[in-house]
Structures are given as C-alpha cells and as structure tokens.
A and B are shown apart, each in its own frame.
Chain A
C-alpha cells in the first residue's frame, strides 16, 4: 500500500509539473468547447418551428399561421415555420426538440363577440435563452396584432404560457460528448509516452532493482489516470452546463461506466504503442497518427453520417466512434445502457484485444 501511494504521488507530481499533459487533459477540451460552442452558436436555430393545434377555430388559426409565417426577425435572420396537427403529437415533437413552440387555439375563437375573451395557450421550453428573448415576444406580437385587427379596444385573446422542458439538440449538445470522448483518447493514448520515456531512460530498470512489484507500477499509473479522466470529464460537463446550459440528461452511473470502459480501451492503446515503439522521439508522431484520424473520423465534431462513404469502414472500426456514440446517447438522450449493446460490445472487444496485445508484446526493458 505504501508503495502504491508512493507511485501514485510520484505520478501526480510529475503530471502537474508537465505542462503538456495538463494542457491536453484539461485546458484543450475547454478551449474546444468554448471555441466551437460560440462559433456555431446559431447552428440549427435559424428557423423557429411552431406547431399549431386547431381545436375548432380554423379562421383564427389561419390568421395566426399567416401572421407567423410573414414575420422576419431582421436582426437575427430568424423566421417561423408552422405545422399543424393534434396536440399530443405536437407536444411530443416539442419535447424531442423538433419543434420550438406549440400554440393551442381552443374551440370558439372564431365566434367570439366583443366583451368575451378566449384563451390561447403557448407551450415552449422556458429554460432556453433563445425562447425568452426572441420566440415568445414574436408570438405575442403576432397574436396582439391579430387581436387588434379583429376587435376593438378590449383584447379578447389572451395568451397563456405553458412551460415544457424540451430536449432541443443544439450543436453544443452534440459537441460536448464528442469533446469528452476526444479528451479520454488524449489522456489514454498519450499515457504511453511517460512509460516509453522511463523505459528509455532506464528508470524502469532502476525501479526493477527495488522490491517494488511492477504490477504496482502499472496500478499506480492506471488509477492515477482514471482519476484524471474523471476530473477532466467533470470539468467538461461543468463548463458545458455553466456556459452553454448543456444538460446531462442520462444516468450519472451509466455515464461513469462508459467513461471507464472507454478509458480502459484507450489506456490499453497507449500501452500497445509502448509495446511496439522503443524511443520517445518516434513515439510522438505515432501517437499523433493514432489520435488525429480518430479525432476527426469518430464523430467528435460532426455526425458520422456526413462523412464520405469510402471512409465508412474505417469509421466503423474505430473505438472512439462507439465511445462518442455511447456518451452522446447517455448525455443527450438519456438512453439506458441496455439499449446500446452494440457500443458496449465493440468497446469491450477492443478492451480485450488491446489488453491481449499488451500482455503479449509489452516489454519492460
């Protein structure tokens, strides 16, 4: 135990004194999130999609439809698209993010006489800034205009707001799990470098002449890196939440499980590199050869569907593809683990293969 703590503490001190490792584990993912998050802030939200549920007032409904469709919000270049349907369908579309708001026009609106008032309901996700600032004021304006056109001085349409938590998928929601996967890859794969360096500098040999068992050396290293991985993941999720209001929808334990499984594969991959590469000088480019294509091809920044077809076979074997997918499913859609058996099976297979290769080919001297 004393030896384990010693290895762990030594590993920790070297880590915090190594700017490169600190940068790639913590700062780099945050820079990525902020940069991409802000740059693509308006992606996917060019158009507000509004569902209209006509409960028996076709005339009012068509007024509101025409009114909304004619609105152009000049400053943000946003516009409205409407669709009609029954309330239940529209509300579920709102919840999964394919609609931004649902307006319910109750029966009897067409035949209101002065003095009477009707009640139009608007469902939307109040937690999204976009809605508070642009969507709702615009809907109010349109309805007020129709109201004034129809009636006299007393408004006979009142608007009732209804809040609904929707899972509208913004780019940042898509990006964040990808950046998390990418960071796990950096921490894992680059972890092969200190091992190669210590072997090359005969440090591992020097330790071999002490009673320290080698298993303790590996354990100290792996446990330390798992803690780095968890800290980095927590930081990424925290920044996403605070800066972009990205919500982790799924189960935290499932997320930890997938993070650990993915880390196991990627840490092993670092050891596989250390098994075949003898010098630090040649290890650097090889780490990049492993890291870069995975980063680009595994759906970190863009959906895999947008890749050219000839790359697809490569995409389909990379472990990061499945890790990113699993992380995304948990964080964005809250998918339970039993519904992502493919991801888990492929990652587990990678873990077994990389472990076997490490055991077979890794040499301490």
Chain B
C-alpha cells in the first residue's frame, strides 16, 4: 500500500529582513508517522512549523497540508490540524475549563472539555486561573489544547520543554497514543532522547537547512558505526593525542565532556587509561555507550544541540 502523504514541503524559503531563517527545505510526512525536527535554537524549526500551521507566509516554495496548499486555504487547514505553540501562551485570567471551552468554540468540531482536562492531567485544577498554574501544568494544558478539535495532524513545537522528567514521559505517552490511533505528529524538539524515542523519522536542522533526514536508527548507523566513550579529564591532552590512541576514529570535545569513537572498546579504553596514568591526570564520569542522535548531531555540526 503506498503511503499517504499528509504534509508536503517543497523548497521552502523564509527570511526576516536580512536574516535567512529557512533556506530552501523540502520533506514529506506520511500519514500515521511521528516526524521530528531536531536542531538548536535558531535552526529554523519554529519558522518551518509556523508556515505549516498557516501562521507565516513563505517567501517562496510551498507547503501542502492534507492536500491543501496552506497559502490558498489557511482556514480549512486550521480546522483540521492541532497546534501547540512554543511558549504556553494563553489568557492568564481565564480558568482551565474556561480556556478549554473558549478553544472548543473556535472550531466546528471539538472533543469534550473533560477529555482535554484528562489529557492535561488537570482534573484537580479545572477552576484554577491559568496564571496560577505551575509552569508544568501550563505546558500540559497548552499541549492538550492542540487536541481540542480532534485533529488529523498535531503540530507540537517543543512540547516537553519545561516539564519535569515524569511529566515528560506522560506527554510522550499522550503523543504515542495519538500516533497509535492512526494520526500524524509533527514535533520539534531539542531533546535527543525524546526524538530518539518518539520519532519515526527525524530531520536534523542547522542554519535553516536540513542536514540529515532519516529514521533515528538509520541516522546513527549511517553516520557513526562506532561506539562512544564519554568522559571528563582534568587536563585536556588535546585532540591530537586522543586521536592517536589505538582504534580511536574521532574525538569531539563539547564543554567539559570529551567523546571518543571507537570500533574496538577494550583497546580504546586501555589506551585511554594508560594515557591518564602516564600523565597523572584525573579521569571521571567515564561511560561507554552506543552512539546516539546526540553523537550524530555532534558529528554533523560540531556542536552540542543545547549550546
């Protein structure tokens, strides 16, 4: 069965004055997949997402959502997609249930107020003013409101930023349940773990361009065949020295963290320990792991995502 394309982005370009935020990107999202956009702040994720939502107009290129060109019939698209904006931006002086009812009445079709309250886990706070909710509660409500019109696609811009780990996991379940009901998710994030766990495919963005697009597993396998050894070292011996250790293929230093990649863990570790004792310098927080998206990102851009 050929997969149904629900979002089609072609050669999208958007500039703010002299600053080119999006420099000609193209991708498709298939029905039922969770598509992630990963990248540091300023990479152009939010701009791309806002064009798809109908909030901004592209300078050139096109975005087609559910078969409708977004610049031609914004209103129909808005009826059928659910959106959560980056910051939890809602009327501060309205209660939780009032906010939900407000958003329900903006759409032709909507789900029950209680469903949104359950999604946001705010059963105890339905009468609380938005301004008096905690940051996490505000964020949960903001994301839950994306479901208010029973949408076919939800677009979530950094849905778990500002949530504690427990709430983040709960939010992941919400997103997975939505996907399991056959619907489509587009999300942006700068959490590697989130992208790796949730996304069927990921577009890594940097400086307004997509620099890699694939499933998380493929991204890792095609970019990094080695394992990663991560540690901190009191006196940094320099890239050259570490790279010359046996079987080490690449060295990346990001802040205090040093990552070396190797296809032969025992030899690399032996070499590293030898170097440390030879130089009498302290080695700490040593861990050996499979390469992750973080490593892919480091390799592709030379920087950590949250810097």
Interface residues of A (CB under 8 A from B): 2-3, 5-6, 9-10, 13-14, 17-18, 198, 201-203, 205-212
Contact = CB atoms under 8 A, between A and B. Distances in A.
Nearest to A14: B93
B106 A212 contact: yes
Interface stretch (B78-86, B174-182, B210-218): B78-86
Given A202-B87, A203-B91, A10 B55 contact: no
A17 B78 contact: no
Contact of B78 (A13, A14, A211): A211
A202 B103 CA distance: 16
Interface residues of B, number: 25
B32 interface: no
Contact of B107 (A5, A14, A211): A211
B97 to A, nearest CB: 12
B129 interface: yes
Given A14-B91, A210-B107, 13 more contacts: A3-B106, A6-B101, A9-B102, A10-B91, A10-B98, A13-B93, A13-B94, A13-B98, A202-B86, A203-B89, A205-B85, A206-B85, A209-B54
A205 B89 contact: yes
Given A14-B93, A202-B89, A203-B90, A211 B102 contact: no
A31 B78 CA distance: 48
Contact of B102 (A10, A17, A198, A208): A10
Most buried by B among A203, A209, A210: A209
A55 B70 CA distance: 90
B53 interface: yes
A201 B93 CA distance: 13
A10 B85 contact: no
B148 to A, nearest CB: 9
B279 interface: no
Contacts of A205: 55, 85, 89
B41 to A, nearest CB: 16
Interface string B31-59: 00000000000000000000001110000
18 contacts: A5-B105, A6-B105, A6-B106, A10-B102, A14-B91, A14-B94, A17-B93, A198-B91, A202-B85, A202-B89, A206-B83, A207-B106, A208-B55, A209-B78, A209-B85, A210-B78, A210-B107, A211-B75
